[in-house]
């Protein structure tokens, strides 16, 4: 990919964040998501790529735009796979909670796993513990391996996972092992990224979350030098067949590595904060201006940039879907 595309993708996530932010705390997650989708889709039309959505808002009959298979961009090359989550954590925006993000990942055509909208078992760590984890091992075994890799005690480690009933046994085992736990209500893309950023204090992500979110997190971890292992977790025969059809895998029990989820040497990831969080500051308003904070990464160079931008809002934010926020 062209180096200049990195900042173009920042514009895309900024647009989504700016569109969703006025809905913070309004209790309408669908409206926030729709505003972000509209803004992200419109901005993609100005980017000089020939993109194909592989992770998006759903199937064509479920989503009017940013649907899986949709072609986006304003040029004939480069041909890229695009994974999007215009609002990672719609409930977080609706309730005014931390860590809601606008996210885009990109790689050369055929390099991002076309993961279906279903569950996925995951484990992820940052660069210091890369090579130490094993999805098939117990949480205790993984914690001990991570502690050894980082020259720490298990009691020094912090694990992040979704606060769900399905994780009760994992939570109990982590506590018995002596590690600390940070439970989140939504947004395990942010949780995956947190393992690779030292200032978050998070050492491992574990548990069952969304498969599309797994691909997005893997793209970020590839840029940051971290590691993810994952396995699709279908709930019935229908989901099993859908997973096989969409992802092209022969073995539903396959354990995916970071490089399986996000292949190639040039993966790009951009994320902009919508609400304030540990990863990024959310959209801040001051008069007719709005400020955003983003991170953009590129695996080929290992470059990680934090982008702080000020946007002039030509029209005050509207809470009606048919009015566009211009910036």
pLDDT of 87 reads 97
pLDDT of 325 reads 41
Residue 33 pLDDT level (bands cut at 50, 70, 90): very high
Residue 243 pLDDT level (bands cut at 50, 70, 90): confident
Domain layout of the chain by residue ranges: 4-109+266-315, 119-261
Mean pLDDT of 254-274: 96
Architecture of domain 119-261: 3-Layer(aba) Sandwich (3.40)
Which burial class, exposed, middle or buried, applies to 100 when counting CB atoms under 10 A from its CB (0-12, 13-18, 19+)? buried
Mean pLDDT of 35-50: 96
**pLDDT value at 176 more than 80:** yes
Q: Please give the residue that has the higher pLDDT: either 282 or 326.
A: 282
Under 8 Å between Cβ of 192 and 221: yes
> What would the CATH number be for the domain defined by 4-109+266-315?
3.30.540.10
pLDDT of 63 reads 81
Measured between alpha carbons, how far apart are the two ends of the chain, in Å? 27
Which residues line the annotated binding site for Mn(2+)? 33, 57, 85, 88, 213
Which residues line the annotated binding site for substrate? 88-90, 119, 164-166, 186-188, 210
Q: How far apart are CA 117 and CA 12, in angstroms?
A: 23
pLDDT of 242 reads 86
Q: pLDDT tens digits, residue range 3-20? A: 689 899 999 999 999 999
Q: pLDDT tens digits, residue range 67-96? A: 999 999 999 999 999 999 999 999 999 999
**pLDDT value at 172 more than 90:** yes
pLDDT of 320 reads 36
pTM recorded for the entire structure: 0.92
**pLDDT value at 161 more than 70:** yes
- Is the backbone peptide bond immediately before 55 cis, with ω within 30 degrees of 0? no
Which residues line the annotated binding site? 33, 57, 85, 88-90, 119, 164-166, 186-188, 210, 213
pLDDT of 293 reads 98
Q: How far apart are CA 242 and CA 234, in angstroms?
A: 9
pLDDT of 84 reads 97
């Amino acid at each position: 990919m062209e180096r200049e595309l990195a900042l173009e993708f920042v514009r895309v996530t900024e647009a989504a964040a700016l569109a969703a932010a006025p809905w913070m705390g309004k209790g309408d997650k669908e409206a926030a998501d729709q505003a972000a989708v509209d803004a992200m889709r419109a901005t993609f039309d100005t980017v000089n790529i020939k993109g194909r959505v592989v992770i998006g808002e759903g199937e064509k009959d479920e989503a009017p735009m940013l649907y899986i298979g949709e072609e986006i961009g304003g040029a004939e090359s480069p041909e890229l796979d695009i994974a999007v989550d215009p609002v990672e954590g719609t409930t977080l925006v609706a309730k005014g909670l931390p860590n809601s993000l606008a996210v885009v990942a990109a790689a050369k055509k055929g390099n991002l796993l076309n993961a279906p909208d279903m569950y996925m078992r995951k484990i992820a760590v940052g660069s210091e513990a890369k090579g130490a984890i094993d999805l098939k091992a117990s949480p205790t075994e993984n914690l001990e391996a991570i502690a050894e890799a980082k020259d720490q005690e298990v009691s020094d480690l912090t694990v992040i996972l979704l606060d769900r009933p399905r994780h009760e046994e994992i939570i109990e085992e982590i506590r018995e092992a002596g590690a600390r736990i940070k439970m989140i209500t939504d947004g395990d893309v942010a949780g995956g990224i947190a393992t690779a950023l030292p200032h978050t204090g998070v050492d491992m992500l574990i548990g069952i979350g969304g498969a599309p979110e797994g691909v997005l997190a893997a793209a970020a971890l590839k840029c940051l030098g971290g590691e993810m292992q994952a396995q699709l977790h279908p709930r019935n025969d229908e989901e099993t067949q859908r997973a096989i059809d969409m992802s092209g895998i022969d073995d539903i029990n396959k354990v995916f590595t970071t490089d399986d989820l996000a292949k190639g040497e040039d993966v790009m990831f951009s994320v902009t904060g919508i609400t304030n969080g540990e990863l990024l500051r959310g959209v801040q308003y001051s008069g007719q201006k709005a400020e955003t904070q983003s991170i953009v990464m590129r695996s080929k160079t290992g470059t990680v940039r934090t982008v702080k931008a000020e946007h002039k809002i030509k029209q005050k934010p509207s809470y009606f879907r048919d009015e566009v926020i211009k910036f």
